[in-house]
Amino acid sequence: MELRARCTIFLRESSGNAEEMSRMGTLYQELADRLAGAYSGGPVAPLRDGLGPLDVDGAYAVQAINTERWSKVGRRIVGRKIGLTSKAVQTQLGVDQPDFGVLFDDMRIPEGGVLSARRAIQPKAEAEIAFVMARDLRDPGATPEAVAAAIGHVVAAIEIVDSRIENWKITFADTVADNGSSAFFVLGSESKPLAGLDLYTCGMVLEVNGAVASVGAGAACLGHPLIAAAWLARTLAERGEGLCAGDVVLTGALGPMVALRPGDEIVAKIAGLGTARFKFED
Q: What confidence tens digit (pLDDT) does each residue in 136-161 have? A: 999 999 999 999 999 999 999 999 99
Integer CA distances (angstroms), 169 to 35, 164, 165, 179, 244, in order:
14, 10, 6, 15, 33
Crossing angle between the packed helical segments 18-41 and 56-72, to the nearest 10 degrees: 60
Confidence of residue 134 (pLDDT cuts 50, 70, 90): very high
**Domain contains 239:** yes
What's the rounded mean pLDDT across residues 121-133? 97
pLDDT of 169 reads 94
Q: Is residue 65 part of a domain?
A: no
What count of Cα atoms within 13 Å lies in the side-chain half-sphere of residue 217?
7
Report yes or no on 199 lying in a domain: yes
Confidence at residue 12, expressed as pLDDT on a 0 to 100 scale = 47
Sign of the C-alpha dihedral, residues 42, 45, 47, 53? Answer: positive
254: in domain = yes
pLDDT at residue 16, rounded to an integer: 57
What is the reported pLDDT for 279?
Answer: 98
Residue 212's φ and ψ, nearest 5 degrees, are: -65, 125
Per-residue model confidence as pLDDT tens digits over 1-46: 444 444 544 554 545 577 777 888 899 999 999 999 999 999 999 9
Average of per-residue pLDDT across 267-272: 98
Range of the domain at 114: 76-281
Q: Is residue 49 part of a domain?
A: no
Average pLDDT, the chain: 93
Domain-embedded: residue 61: no
The predicted pLDDT at position 96 comes to 86
The contacts of residue 149 (CB under 8 Å, 6+ apart) are none
Q: In whole angstroms, give the CA distance from residue 198 to residue 227.
A: 14
Whether 147 and 230 have beta carbons less than 8 Å apart is answered as yes
Number of domains in the chain: 1
Q: What angle do CA 79, 76, 65 make, to 5 degrees?
A: 85
Per-residue pLDDT of 167-208, as tens digits, reads 999 999 999 999 999 999 999 999 999 999 999 999 999 999
pLDDT tens for residues 58-111? Answer: 999 999 999 999 999 999 999 999 999 988 788 878 888 999 999 999 999 999
Residue 268: predicted pLDDT: 98
Q: What is the CATH number of the domain that holds 207?
A: 3.90.850.10
Q: Is the pLDDT confidence value at 215 over 60?
A: yes
pLDDT for res 4: 44
